[in-house]
Structure 1
Amino acid sequence: MIPNDLRFVPILFALVLASGCAGRPAPEAEPAIAEPEQVSPTEPAAPLVGTTQHDRFWVPPLFASEEDEAHYYISRLADRRFIDVYGGGEHPRVWYISAERLGQIGEPAIPLLYALIDTRDEYELMLVLYALQLATQDPQLMAQTGSDYVRLTETLNEGANAENRAIAVEWWERHGWRWQ
C-alpha cells in the first residue's frame, strides 16, 4: 500500500516538468548580422521545390521512338517546376529533368533542341543549351564529328546564354547538315 503522501508524487512530478517546458520564454537573441549568402547563378531564385515523384518518372505511354520521348521532354523544358532537388537542405542542387533526359536521348533530340535556339525565354534557352551540350556528346555522333560537341563556357547560367548560344550555332553550322 502506498502512503497517502506519496501517491501524488508522479502527478506532481509531471506538473513540474510541464511547467518547466512552458515556463519563461527564451531570451531574445540579438539580431546577428548575416553575411550575404553566396547564391549560385545556376540555382533558381525561388525556393527549390521539385516535382512529384509520379511526375518525375511518368512518361506518356506507347512511345514509338526516341523522337516521341524527345518531343515530350521538349514540351517540358520551359516548365520551371519540372525539376528534382537533391543534395539535402544544406547543399540543394537542381536536377533539370527535361534537359538531362534530352541529353541521354542524344542525337535524336538535337534537331528538336535547335528548333528552340531562338527562344526568348532565358530559362528555356539555358536548358536548351545545356541539353545540347549533353546530347552532342552521344558516342555515335562523337564518332562522326571527330569528338566535336557543343562545349559551353559556363553551364546552367542564364547570364552566359548569349555566348553559349553563339557556340551552339557555330557547332550547328559545322554539323547541322546531318539533320537536313
Structure 2
Amino acid sequence: MSPWMLPLPCVVLVVSLLGGCAVRSPAPATAPAGEVDPAPPAEASPRVPVPDRHWLPPLFTGVEDEVHYFISRLADRRFVDTYGGAEHPRPWYIAAERLGQIGEPAIPLLVSRLDTADEYELMLALYALMLASQDPRLMARTGGDYVELGRVLSEESNAENRAAAEAWWQRHGWRWQ
C-alpha cells in the first residue's frame, strides 16, 4: 500500500463533512419580542398563485399537447387572471384565451366540449371556439365565416351560443373529419 492511499479517504471524508457544514439553510425570520406577525388578508383570493397560472407542462411536443392541456383547464375556475387595473378589473380566462390564440388546431376539441354539463366550462369553450374560429388562415377558407356569439361570457347565453356554434360546425366541421 502506498503512503498516499491512506490519507486520500481521510481527506475526502474531511472535505465532505466541511462541505456539508458550509451549506446552511437561513434561520427563520422571527418577529421582535412583543410583536405579532400580521395575519393574512381576510379575503384571500381563490385564484391560482401567479407562477402556477402561467405554468406549462415542460414536455410539450407540439401544439396538440398544448391544446389538450388548456382544454383540461377550461373548467378550473381558479385558472383566471385579471387585467384592467384596480379601477376596472376584468377577468382574463387564461385557458380560453390561449385556445383562441392557438386557433384552428383547437377547434375539434373545443367542439367536443360543447356537450359538457358544466355551465362555466361550456361558457369558456364557446368563447374559445369563437376566438379560435377567427384564425386568419381558417377564415380565408371559410369565406370569413366564424362562430358569432350573441352575448359572450355569460352562462345565461349558453343555450343560444351553443346553437350558433353547432350551426357553424354543421357548415364547416367536415374540414376536421
> Under a length normalisation based on structure 2, what TM-score does the superposition of the two structures give?
0.73
Does residue 162 of structure 1 match 2:159?
A: yes
Count of equivalent residues: 135
Gaps of 5+ in 2: 1-43
1:107-126 correspondence runs (5 A): 107-126=104-123
Gaps of 5+ in 1: 1-46
Does residue 174 of structure 1 match 2:168?
A: no
Alpha-carbon distance between aligned partners in 2 of 1:48 and 1:147, rounded to the nearest angstrom: 40
Does residue 101 of structure 1 match 2:104?
A: no
Q: Deviations over 1:40-95 (max 9, x none)?
A: xxxxxxx9654322112210112111111000000000000000012233322000
Whichever residue aligns with residue 174 of structure 2, its letter is: W
Residue number in structure 2 paired with 1:3: none
Percent of aligned pairs with the same residue? 69
Residue number in structure 2 paired with 1:58: 55
Does residue 129 of structure 1 match 2:137?
A: no
Aligned residues of 1:50 and 1:85 also touching (Cα < 8 A): no
Question: Which fold has the larger relative contact order, with Cα–Cα distance below 8 Å and residues 6 or more apart in sequence?
Answer: 1
RMSD: 1.6
Residue number in structure 2 paired with 1:87: 84
Q: Give SS of 2:91's match.
A: strand
Whichever residue aligns with residue 75 of structure 1, its letter is: S
Whichever residue aligns with residue 130 of structure 2, its letter is: Q
Provide runs of 4+ in structure 1 moved above 4 Å. Answer: none
> Under a length normalisation based on structure 1, what TM-score does the superposition of the two structures give?
0.71
Kindly indicate which of the two structures has a greater share of residues assigned to helix.
2
Aligned residues of 1:107 and 1:136 also touching (Cα < 8 A): yes
Alpha-carbon distance between aligned partners in 2 of 1:147 and 1:65, rounded to the nearest angstrom: 27
Alpha-carbon distance between aligned partners in 2 of 1:130 and 1:48, rounded to the nearest angstrom: 24
Residue number in structure 2 paired with 1:142: 139
Q: Deviations over 1:90-123 (max 9, x none)?
A: 3220000000000000001000001111111100
Whichever residue aligns with residue 101 of structure 1, its letter is: R
Whichever residue aligns with residue 102 of structure 2, its letter is: I
Residue number in structure 2 paired with 1:67: 64
